[in-house]
Amino acid sequence: MKIRNIVLYIAAFILLYSCSDELQNKLKSNPNALGTANQIVVIADQDLWEGAVGDTFRMLYEAAYPMLPKPEPIFDLKHFTPTELEEGPLRKELRTYLYLANLSDANSTTVQSVSKDLGEEKILTIKREGIKNTTIGRDKWAAGQLMIYVMGEDEEALIDNITKSFPSISKRVYQHDYKQIKGYTFASGYNKALSTEIQEKLGVKIEIPADYVKAEWDEDAQLMWIRKETAAATFGMVLWSMDYESQDQLNKEFLKEKVNDFGRDYVKTNTPGSHMVINDEDLPLYTNTIEVNGQYAYEMRGIWETTQDYMGGPFFAYVVIDKSQKKLLFILDFLLAPGKEKRDLMQQMELMTNTLEFM
């Protein structure tokens, strides 16, 4: 019996080490992808990146994130040519890659890379039929990677495809980053006691990070203000329940009035007469209709400041309708983070707000 076991071990050993390199590589577990949310590694030929294709791409993907005091891009971009990608091993372990391929350039190393990944038949179909194509892949070199291929049968078609695919690709990248953003948001855990209190008093369910505390509860107004304090920033969130009277409440002036009402009554500084107010002179107010966890909502974004003082930052406010209860929920999220980048912090508040559910 012992001899038989020894023979089996030897056979398994020989089999393992006689495998091809390709099979052994497949048996190896992939590392986890590195990097943070909102980062995209762009793989494109140098001349393409420095020309009209790169200009179009940067104009869209590096556009300003909406309504921050100092412009910050929607995405952080890093460009490599296929040759540069091979030069550093860690360059293949990042989270999100986007290939830009002009399929009419037979000498393009990017086109050759894309053809290897997707297959010659798919590339020939795109060239033959002149379709503007975007393809998604995953986990090419590391677990948790998103691979995006944006192609065109010539440079003009590629530029057109970049423009038309931007909304869907932006959404796909955010979905890919969602788990990581949620990890940052709830890194401290969940404040279940505060969530329960909000549910009991305002009739809505919302997930609250453990490092938020109650700053104010006004029973007469049915208003709850919660906040989070760190060494670098102050996060504020207001939940304010009110009667739904008419569609006229879903407009810019109503939201502006409610933000200013809250700021005047609750947010003051040590300077006498100073309080929080919307500043729509230095930056305009942005409004939109959206959904908050499936509920119709009217949105406003802008910047706030304090009168007779020097505090300020970005905010967003929603009015969400609960028609079954004939109620409106006014939600205000505002941030104070002097000298700090604010895009990622605002995304964390957006994610928390979008866990809202009416009871």
Q: Token digits for 179?
A: 């788990």
* pLDDT for 4: 54
Instruction: Give the per-residue pLDDT at 223.
Output: 97
The residue among 150, 165, 184 that closes a domain is 184
163 and 204 in a common domain: no
Of 66-80, 196-210, 234-248, the range with the lowest mean pLDDT is 234-248
Q: Which has more pLDDT, 106 or 356?
A: 356
7 has pLDDT over 80 = no
Q: Are strands 223-229 and 234-243 parallel, antiparallel or unpaired?
A: antiparallel
Provide the pLDDT for residue 245: 83
**Same domain? 161 vs 279:** no
Q: Does residue 2 belong to any structural domain of this protein? A: no
Tens of pLDDT, residue by residue over 321-346, are: 877 778 899 999 999 999 999 999 99
Q: Which two tokens stand for residue 181?
A: 């953003």
165 CA to centre of own chain: 17
Do 66 and 195 reside in the same domain of the chain?
Answer: no
Question: Would you call 226 helix, strand, or coil by DSSP?
Answer: strand
Residue 288 C-alpha from the chain's centroid: 18
Contact 206, 352 (CB under 8 A): yes
Q: Which two tokens stand for residue 79?
A: 């460009």
**CA dist., res. 129 & res. 254, Å (int):** 51
What pLDDT is recorded for position 250?
Answer: 82
In a domain, 73, yes or no: yes
Residue 20 has pLDDT above 70, yes or no: no
Quote the number of domains for the chain: 2
208 is a domain residue: yes
End of a domain among 184, 211, 233?
184
Would you place residue 273 in the very low, low, confident or very high pLDDT band (cuts 50, 70, 90)?
confident
Same domain for 174 and 210, yes or no, is no
Domain that holds residue 13: 7-184
